[in-house]
Structure 1
Amino acid sequence: MGAAAAAVWGRAEQQDFRARVRGCLLGAAIGDALGAGVSGLSVEAIRAAHGPDGLADLAPAYGRRGAVTSATQLSLFTVDGLIRAQVRRDTGAWHPPTDVHRAHLRWAATQRDWGPDERRKDNGWLACEEWLYARRDPARATLTGLGDETLGTVDRPKNPTARDAGALVRSAPFGLLVGWEPQLVCQLAVECAVQTHGHPTAYLSAGAFAVVVHGLARGESVDGSVQRALAQLATRPGHEPVSEALKHALGAVRQGIPSPARIASLGDTDGEHAEDALAIAVYCTLVGEDVRHGLRLAVNHDGPSETTGALTGALLGALHGETALPPAWLAELEGRPTVLELADDFAMEMTQGPALHGPAASAPGWLARYPRG
C-alpha cells in the first residue's frame, strides 16, 4: 500500500487490514503446526494414532505441541523483506525481489548458524530471534537455491526442475500488499519464487496463491479471488497444470461431502507438485464450515499435511481475520509473539510508512528494526 492509499483509509479500514494480516500470518502458522504433528503419515496412520475422525487437536512435533516448520519461518522472513523494501524505497533503490532475497538469505543463515550474529547491524530484529535458529525440514531446493547470493530470475531461475511447494508456502505475504494491482502481486511472487524453485508449476502456483490471498485480504470472495488468479495465469507460459488444478478444486466443491478421498482426487498429495497443494488449500477453504473444520480437512489426508495446513490457514485467516482463529491452538503456537509483532509492523508500515521514514519524519527505532542496508 502506498502513501496515497493509506491517506484515504479510515481507522476502521486500517483495523480491518491489520486483522486480516494477523489472521493470514497466524492462520498459516497454526495450520503449519497442526499439520506438523502428522507430517508424512497416511490417512490410515493418522486415524490409527488419533481415532476414526483423524487429528482433531495439536499433536507434538519437534519435541512440543504447536511447533512450526520452515514454512512459517520463511513466511516471516518474506514479511521482513517486504517491510524493508518499503523502507529502502526512500533511497530510490526500489527492487522488492532483491530485498526479499536478502531476507531469505538471512533465513538461510538460521539453518547453519548456532544463533544470531548480533554484530551484524543490517540484520534487523527478526534475525535476532533465537527460536528461529532451528532446522524444520525445509525443501532441499530452498536450501540449495539460497546456498549462494546469486539472484534467480524468471529467465534464469534457480533449480529449474524443482516443482515442490517450497516456494509456495512462503508466498502468502505478497498477497497482503493490498494497495498493489493483482498482476504486480503475481509478478512479485513469481520473481521471488524462482530464487529457489524454477519449474513453471512451482513459481506460477506461488503467483496464483498470492493473488488469491490478495483478493481475500481486500474482502473479496474465495471464488472471485480464484477467478482473478486464473485470469492472471492465463497469459503465462506453462500455466496449464496450475490453472487445471484450481479449476478442479472449484469443481470438487459440488461433488459431495468433503473427505480425505475427495482431497486425494485433487492430485498428487505426496508433496511433489506445488499446484496440487494449492488445489487442496483452495478446496478446504471453500468447504470448511469454519477455520477449525477447514484446517482439519487440510491435514487429515495422505501427503504433506504441514504444507496444506499452512496454505489453508493463510487463506482462512485472510478471509475471516484473526478473531476467527481457534484460541486454544493460538495459545500453544510456537513463536506467537514474534508472528504478532511482525504482522503489526507490516500493517503499520503499509498504512503509516511516511510517518515512520518519510521526508517530514524519521523514527530511528524503526530504521534500527528494518535497516535500509
Structure 2
Amino acid sequence: MVSADAAKGTLLGLACGDALGRPVEFRSPEQITEQHGTLTDMVGHGTHGKPAGTVTDDTDLALCIARSLAEQAAFDGEDIADRFAEWYDDGPFDVGLMTADAISEYKTGTSWRDAGREVWQRRAEGSNAGNGSIMRCAPHAIAFADESDTLERVSKQSSAITHHDPRCQYGCVLLNHTIAGYLNGTDDPVTDAIARIDGAAPDELVETIRLVPDVVDENQLENTGYVVHTLQTSLYEALTADNAAEAITASVNRGGDTDTLGAVTGAIAGARFGADALPDQWLDTLEYRDDLELLAQALAMTEMGSNA
C-alpha cells in the first residue's frame, strides 16, 4: 500500500524544488552565493521574473500527466500528448527546445508514439538527451507503484512523447522505480532500480548511476540539462541528505539547470521523507499546492488500467 504522505511528498517535493530553483535558473553557484548566500527561501523575480512560489514547465507538465492519470484511471498517451499541446498553446514562459519541437510535431498530425522519435532522429548527439522527461515523470511512479512491469512500460512510452532517446526513456524508468520503491518502503530502491534496467539500458546511464552515492566525488557532479547528469546529481543529493529541504537546497545551489535539478531531487526526497518533511514556508508559498496534494492522493488510491 502506497504511503499517502510519501505520494504527496513526491509531487509537492517536485514542485518545491522547481519553484526554489526557478529564480536562479542558468546562474552559476558563485552568482547564487553572491546574491543569496545559500538560497533556502522561495524568492520572486530573478530568472523569468515571476513571483515567489511560481513553478515552471517541470511542474506544469507533471500536472498534465497527473491529471490525465487521475481522470482516465489509466495511462493514455494520446490524452497526455493532447494536454501537453493545450498547455503549449497557452504560451508557457518556460519550455525546453526538444519538448517544444515534439509538441509541434504532434500538432502537425504525427502520432504521440512517433512525434518524439521524429524530433530525436533530427537532433545531433549532445542536443538529443535532455532532462525534459525525467522532470515530469513522477506521477507515473505513484499511479503504478505496485505494478513494476507496467511502470516500466508507461515510463518509456511517456518519455518518448517528447524524449525518445534510450537514455531518457530508461532514465524515467530508473527514476520512477526509485520513487516507487520509497513509496512502498523498500530498503534500497536505487539498487533495485538499477537492477531493473541493467542489461537493457545504455551502459553510460547504468554505470553513472551505479556510482551513487558512495563512489562519485560530489565535487564532480554536473549541473547541466543532460539527463544522465541530472539523474546522478539529483539522486546523490536525495540519498545523502538528512531531510528533504536539505536535499532540495543543496541541489538548487549547484546552479545551472536549477529548476529541474530541484524538481527531480525534490520528487525523490519527497518520496523518501514524505510531505510532512517539507518546510511549511515553502508549501505556503507554492503554486498549485492544493491541486498537487489532491492529485497525489487520487493517484495513490485509484486502480489504474492502460489505454496505451
Aligned partners of 2:25 and 2:256 also within 8 Å: yes
Structure 2 partner of 1:227: 191
1:360 alignment counterpart: none
State the partner residue of 2:18.
32
1:266 is matched with: 221
Aligned pair in 2 of structure 1 residues 100, 25: CA closer, same or farther (>3 Å)? farther
Supply the distance in 1 between the matched residues of 2:213 and 2:119 (Cα, whole angstroms): 30
Q: In 1, distance between residues paired with 2:286 and 2:118? A: 33
2: CA distance, partners of 1:229 / 1:314 = 15
What is the TM-score when the length of structure 2 is the normalising length? 0.87
Q: 1:179 to 1:335 in 2, by over 3 A?
A: closer
Correspondence for 2:42: 58
Cα distance in 2 between the residues matched to 1:33 and 1:156:
27
Correspondences of 1:179-258 after superposition (within 5 Å)? 179-221=145-187, 224-237=188-201, 239-252=202-215
Helix, strand or coil at the partner of 1:67: coil
94, 97, 101: which one aligns with 1:144: 101
1:205-243 alpha-carbon deviations (Å, 9 max, x no partner): 11111111111111123xx21111111211315x21111
Q: 1:50–1:226: structure 2 CA closer, same or farther, 3 Å change rule?
A: same
Task: Give, in whole Å, the separation in 2 of the partners of 1:108 and 1:136.
Answer: 15
Aligned residues with identical type, % of pairs: 26
Gaps of 5+ in 2: none
**Deviation digits for residues 183-206 of structure 1, max 9, x if unmatched?**
331221011111111222122111
Between the aligned partners of 1:282 and 1:251, the Cα distance in structure 2 is 11
Q: Give the TM-score normalised by the residue count of structure 1.
A: 0.73
Say what the alpha-carbon RMSD is for the aligned residues.
Answer: 2.4
SS at match of 1:37: helix
Between the two proteins, the alignment pairs up a number of residues equal to 294
AA matched with 1:232:
R
Match of 1:250, SS? Answer: coil
Per the alignment, residue 284 of structure 2 pairs with 331
In the alignment, is the contact (CA less than 8 A) between 1:23 and 1:325 conserved in 2? yes
5+ residue gaps, structure 1, are 1-12, 88-95, 114-133, 256-261, 355-371
Q: For residue 143 of structure 1, what is the amino acid of its counterpart?
A: A
Using CA pairs below 8 Å that are at least 6 residues apart, which structure has the higher relative contact order? 2
